Structure 1
C-alpha cells in the first residue's frame, strides 16, 4: 500500500497543537522567559518547543536577539492561524460544557384532566426543545387529591383548581377558566330560540361534587343561588366527561368550560345557554410545597412556565 514520504505530508496532518500553543504564548508574552512562567515549564522547554515547530514548518518564525523580538512573515501567518485554532477550540470547549450541563432528569406533575390550552401545549413543546433529556411522569387526579398530596410533601408539582389554599403550599395563578351553562341535543331547550334565564331556573341540573359552598366550583352554586335556580339535581359527579355525557343525554343542564363547549366535536351535541358571557371564572394554579426542596429541574420548569402569557391564547379545558 502506498504511503506518503514524511516530508510530503500536509502540515495539518503533522501539526502538534501543544507546540502551536507554546508559540502563541511566546508571541503574546514577547519573551521566552515570561512564556515559561505562564506555562509553568522551564525556559529551555519553551525554546525546544519553538525549535521543533520551526523544524516541522521548515520556516523561521521569530527573529530574536538579546534586545529584539520580531515575528517573521511566516511567524505572523503562524500566529494568526494559531489564534484562530485557539478560538475554535475554546468555542468547542464551551459547547461541550454546555452539553454536559444540559438539564436532565424525571419531572413528576399531577394535573387535573383535559388540558387543551394552546399556550400550555406550546410551552411543553418549547421545554422539550430546550431540554431534550428531560422525561415526564404525568398523573391525572382531582384537584382535591392533588392538594392533599402536595400538602403531604409528595415530590411532585401540581396544576389544579384551588379555592382555599392549604397551609404550606406555594400558589401561582396560570389563568382563569370560564364556565358557562349548556344543554344537550336531547334537552327540550336545545331547539328553542331566545332562551332566557327565567326559563332556566326550573330546569333539572347536573352538578359537580365540588360545587358545594367552599369548594373550588362553589362560584357556580353562588350563581345558581343568586338567580333563584330551583330545579332538582339529577346527577352529581366528579368527572367532566360524565357531566358532558349526562348533559348530552338530557338529564338536565350543567356548567362546562366554555372552551370545551365550543369544541368542534361537541358543537352539534351541546348548546350554550344564557348568559352568553358565561357564569364564573375558576382560577387554575401551579402549586408546590413551600418546605420541600425542589430539584433543579422542578425549579427550571416552574420558572419557565411562569413566563408564559396565557392571556394571549385560548383557555384550558379541565375536569375537577
Structure 2
C-alpha cells in the first residue's frame, strides 16, 4: 500500500505543473495560453484539475483584471520551479567521477547588450573545457530574470534588475556608453559640425525596450532631454538588427559605442556636445538554485574574472 504522497507523485501530470508555472509568470490565463500555444479553455481546465488534485485554491479569479496567487499557489510555484530546473538539467548531471567536465551551460543575455567584455571570458572557459557546450540565448531584458527563475539558465546579463526577486543576486558590471549614430543615407553622415535643428528633426530607430517603462528608458529620457531626434519610425529587438537599420536607413539611433566600432566607416557617430548616455549592466545568478558540476565550475570561472557574485552553497546559508 502506498502513502498519499506516493500516489500524488505517481499520478500527478507534469503538464499541469508546467501550465501553472506559465500562468503565474504571465499573470493571466490568456497570456499563458498564448505562450503555450494552446486554447484558453485548455489552460483553465489544467488549472482547475491541478487545484482539484492538490485540494487547494492556487489562483483567486475575479472580475476584470483581478489575478491573485494564493499562499498555497506561491508555495506550489516555488516547488514547480525547482522541478522544472531539475528536468532541464538532467543531461548535465553526469559530469563527475573524474571525467572531463562536460554538459551544457545556458547563458541568457539582453538582446540589446554589447558583450565584448564578457564573451572572451566565456570563450576562455570553453577552451579550458572543450566538452562543455555554451548555449547563449538573446532575449528581451525581462526574460533574462524569468529564465533564471525557471532554472533554465545558469547566469544572465541584463540592464535592469527587479529588486523584488530576492533569490536573484545582481552584480553591477561596467556601464555601457551609448552614442548617436547614423548611416551614409543621413545628411549628417561624416559631418563634424551639426545643425541642432536638423538633428532634432531626424527620424529615430530604437529598441522595443526604449519606451519610458522599458529596460532602456534612460536612452529615451536622454534623447528627449537634449532634443535629439523626433519621430520613432522603427523598433528592433536586438543590437544587430538596430545597427543594420541605422546603417541602411536614413534615421538616427542610439547604440553601444563598443558595438558600433565594428561597423567601421559604415556608421558615423554624430558629435553631440552633451555627456553620453550610460546604461547599467548587471550579471544575475539564482542563489537558491542547485548547480550541476559544470555550472559550479562555470560560475567560479566568472567569479574569478569579476563578472558574477558567486552564491554561497546552501550548507553555508
Alignment TM class, shorter chain as reference: 0.5 to 0.7
| Residue matched to 1:238 | 237
Deviation at 1:138, TM superposition (A): 2.7
In structure 1, runs of 5+ residues without a counterpart are 1-97, 311-320
Q: List per-residue Cα deviations over 1:71-106 (Å, max 9, x = no partner).
A: xxxxxxxxxxxxxxxxxxxxxxxxxxx992654332
In structure 2, runs of 5+ residues without a counterpart are 1-95, 308-317
Deviation at 1:217, TM superposition (A): 0.9
1-structure distance, mates of 2:123, 2:154? 20
| Residue matched to 1:283 | 280
Deviation at 1:117, TM superposition (A): 4.8
Name the count of aligned residue pairs: 211
2-structure distance, mates of 1:276, 1:163? 30
**1:212-291 counterparts in 2 under 5 A?**
212-229=211-228, 231-263=230-262, 266-275=263-272, 279-291=276-288
Deviation at 1:219, TM superposition (A): 1.0
Contact preservation (8 Å) 1:183, 1:271: yes
| Residue matched to 2:304 | 307
2-structure distance, mates of 1:159, 1:206? 23
2-structure distance, mates of 1:286, 1:309? 10
Q: List per-residue Cα deviations over 1:20-73 (Å, max 9, x = no partner).
A: xxxxxxxxxxxxxxxxxxxxxxxxxxxxxxxxxxxxxxxxxxxxxxxxxxxxxx
| CA pair 120-216 structure 1, distance change in 2 beyond 3 A | same
| CA pair 116-236 structure 1, distance change in 2 beyond 3 A | closer
**1:154-169 counterparts in 2 under 5 A?**
154-165=152-163, 167=165, 168-169=167-168
1:124 pairs with 2:122 = yes
Question: SS at the partner of 1:224?
Answer: helix
Deviation at 1:178, TM superposition (A): 1.4
| Residue matched to 1:180 | 179
Question: SS at the partner of 2:281?
Answer: strand
Deviation at 1:194, TM superposition (A): 0.9
Picking from 141, 144, 149, the partner of 2:142 is 144
Deviation at 1:196, TM superposition (A): 5.2
Deviation at 1:216, TM superposition (A): 1.6
Contact preservation (8 Å) 1:183, 1:190: yes
Question: SS at the partner of 2:278?
Answer: strand
Contact preservation (8 Å) 1:177, 1:257: yes
1-structure distance, mates of 2:286, 2:238? 26
Deviation at 1:169, TM superposition (A): 1.5
Q: List per-residue Cα deviations over 1:110-157 (Å, max 9, x = no partner).
A: 234587755434323432343344333333323222222223333542
1-structure distance, mates of 2:238, 2:265? 21
Deviation at 1:238, TM superposition (A): 1.6
Deviation at 1:253, TM superposition (A): 0.6
TM-score (norm. length: structure 2): 0.57
